[in-house]
């Protein structure tokens, strides 16, 4: 009787092995589910980026405001009747105090008007 129990135990172990460790077993399914979750997260980020790019393209095709905004931000363009002020943070500490006393920030080189 003892031999029969050992044979049945070995048979059960042989049947359980593919389910746990074999191809398509629980361990592989868990790993594939983890990879699927990571890929879905990456796809969501890319989908949001694509939607932003699509909105930018629609704005550039239909409106002049988006074109003007992009020309100002990326190319530094200004209208012909505007005065462009460029602010710099290269003021020495002593010059900043002197400019603050005289109330003339242009004297310290902080503001530069550029006419075009």
**How many whole angstroms separate alpha carbon 33 and alpha carbon 46?**
20
| One domain for residues 52 and 11 | yes
Do 84 and 73 belong to one domain? Answer: no
Range of the domain at 102: 80-116
Residues 72 and 102 in one domain: no
CA 58, distance to chain mean position in Å, is 21
Does the reported pTM lie above 0.75?
Answer: no
Q: In this predicted model, which residue has the larger pLDDT, 25 or 91?
A: 25
Same-domain pairing of 46 and 6? yes
| 61/87 same-domain check | no
Q: Are residues 43 and 25 in the same domain?
A: yes
Residue 112 in contact with residue 85, Cβ under 8 Å?
A: yes
pLDDT tens digits for range 14-68: 888 777 777 777 888 889 999 999 999 999 999 999 999 999 899 888 888 888 8
> Considering only CA atoms, which of 43, 69, 46, 44 is closest in space to residue 56?
69
Residues 6+ apart with CB under 8 A from 12: none
Our count of domains for the chain comes to 2
Condensed to tens digits (0 to 9), the pLDDT of residues 103-112 reads 555 555 555 5
């Amino acid at each position: 009787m003892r031999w029969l129990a050992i044979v049945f135990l070995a048979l059960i172990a042989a049947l359980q092995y593919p389910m746990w460790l074999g191809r398509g077993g629980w361990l592989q399914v868990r790993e594939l589910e983890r990879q699927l979750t990571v890929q879905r997260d990456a796809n969501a980020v890319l989908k949001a980026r694509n939607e932003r790019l699509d909105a930018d393209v629609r704005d550039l095709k239909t409106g002049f405001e988006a074109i003007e905004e992009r020309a100002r931000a990326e190319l530094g363009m200004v209208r012909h009747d505007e005065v462009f002020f460029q602010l710099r943070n290269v003021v020495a500490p002593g010059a900043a105090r002197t400019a603050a006393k005289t109330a003339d920030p242009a004297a310290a080189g902080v503001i530069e008007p550029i006419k075009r």
